[in-house]
A and B are shown apart, each in its own frame.
Chain A
Amino acid sequence: DGGITQSPKYLFRKEGQNVTLSCEQNLNHDAMYWYRQDPGQGLRLIYYSQIVNDFQKGDIAEGYSVSREKKESFPLTVTSAQKNPTAFYLCASSDRDRAYGYTFGSGTRLTVV
């Protein structure tokens, strides 16, 4: 079945550490996205990529970094510069044709310990 796989499901980060969240899709979608979800707030866009080897900052990119070396993969690194990283992170993908909708993964919950 086609879909998006996010791993791990739960992740714990110590102060000062960088951690990387994985997102893989087999839908042959060109575009991929990372969102952050906090209680009481809507989903906020962190980074997005519409084509391999290219990506753009979203609304809350500070403290995060991404790469897009393969069409299928869009990993997100939460750096030590992100002061409040505890949140639920969602990865999504879509076709380049904007008439299509988004498909989401099952999410990664990151907690600072």
Chain B
Amino acid sequence: KQEVTQIPAALSVPEGENLVLNCSFTDSAIYNLQWFRQDPGKGLTSLLLIQSSQREQTSGRLNASLDKSSGRSTLYIAASQPGDSATYLCAVRDGGSQGNLIFGKGTKLSVKP
């Protein structure tokens, strides 16, 4: 059964730092991997979607990489800002017959001014 793990569970950094969030998954048979952002009490906002055949995707200050064979993805945030404070969730679209999205528990990021 696919399992997704995110490390660390929480992270606090000063404004301006570059940072990396980690995501690992146990079964490399995936369709894609999606990074989301969740603000307190809100829904999920999709940040980046990486297909299984891709190595990375970029959007503004965000860069996500995917190493399917080792079951790892990283989300790199450049020049962090207080507005980046949120919980970041990693999810893989499982390669099984149902193809459902399976989530990690998230990394809670706090960027201090």
Residues of chain A touching chain B, judged by Cβ–Cβ distance below 8 Å, are 6, 33, 40-43, 45, 48, 56, 58, 88, 90, 92, 94, 98-107, 109
The 7 closest A-B pairs by CB, nearest first: A104-B44, A106-B43, A101-B49, A42-B103, A42-B105, A43-B103, A98-B31
Are A40 and B105 touching (Cβ within 8 A)?
yes
A42 touches which one: B31, B32, B106 (CB < 8 A)?
B106
Q: Size of chain B's interface in residues, with CB distance under 8 A?
A: 24
Q: A42-B4, A42-B103 are in contact. Are A102 and B34 (CB under 8 A)?
A: yes
Residues of chain B touching chain A, judged by Cβ–Cβ distance below 8 Å, are 4, 31-32, 34, 36, 41-46, 49, 51, 89, 91, 93, 98-101, 103-106
User: What is the CB-to-nearest-CB distance from A96 to chain B, in angstroms, rounded to a whole number?
Assistant: 10
Q: A43-B103, A56-B98 are in contact. Are A103 and B46 (CB under 8 A)?
A: yes
Taking CB as reference atom, which chain B residue is nearest A6? B43
Are A98 and B43 touching (Cβ within 8 A)?
no
Are A107 and B42 touching (Cβ within 8 A)?
yes
User: What is the CB-to-nearest-CB distance from B42 to chain A, in angstroms, rounded to a whole number?
Assistant: 6
